[in-house]
Copies of this chain bind each other. A is one copy, B any other.
């Protein structure tokens, strides 16, 4: 099969759709590489333009500013991950098994998905860990939220919450638990690599310890054999 996965993005995220031109796709590709390499703070449109052999003005024709570009690639990631979740849990009936698969997808290094030619998902995953929460931890949250820029994240959260409810229909905080699992899949991995004393996993281990921690937490919380 030779299928190119196309993700339709919210039009408010860009000035000109980067998926519809070669230059646009190269902007996304090089942005991901540069942000991965130097971090979002050090990332500028000037550096990006030099790096990819175009001009600053060229980049500004696609994105209003670097924050919007970050929101774009983060939203892209959540849409892509949501698709992965749907694909990988399809035909699974047991919600427990579904949740385990989701935790694995959230917390484990992804391999580059070859059906999206200009996006390197493994770099993108690392970017989400370090820069993802910066998309909404700003004074503009509510405005950005009004434009539905965070919809992919919220949709995934809602989907996970619904499976949580399948596991235990009496649990009262499915959405908060879902957002906790999503955020911690990233934070615990970040802590493991950079501030290991905030976790119980030693630095050399891979993400499997994070997966085990999250699964343990999730299923203890959802366990029906408890007091209440």
- A contact residues vs B (CB 8 Å cutoff): 38-39, 41-42, 130-131, 133-134, 136-139, 141-142, 145, 150, 153-154, 157-158, 172-180, 183-184, 187-188, 190-191, 194-195, 197-201, 213, 216-217, 220-221, 223, 225-227
Contact = CB atoms under 8 A, between A and B. Distances in A.
A64 to B, nearest CB: 15
B198 A187 contact: no
Nearest to A137: B130
Given A173-B217, A180-B188, 15 more contacts: A134-B134, A141-B194, A145-B195, A157-B197, A173-B216, A175-B197, A175-B200, A176-B199, A176-B200, A180-B184, A183-B187, A220-B220, A220-B223, A220-B226, A223-B227
Given A41-B139, A173-B216, A194-B145, A188 B179 contact: yes
B172 A200 contact: yes
A142 B142 CA distance: 32
Contact of A139 (B38, B134, B187): B38
23 contacts: A38-B139, A39-B139, A133-B137, A134-B137, A136-B195, A141-B195, A145-B194, A150-B195, A154-B195, A154-B197, A175-B197, A175-B198, A175-B199, A176-B188, A176-B198, A178-B198, A179-B191, A179-B198, A180-B184, A184-B184, A220-B220, A220-B223, A226-B226
**CB-based closest 3 A-B pairs:** A39-B139, A179-B198, A141-B194
B226 A227 contact: no
A208 to B, nearest CB: 13
Nearest to A210: B176
A223 B213 CA distance: 16
A213 B173 contact: yes
A137 B174 CA distance: 27
B194 A176 contact: no
A194 B190 CA distance: 24
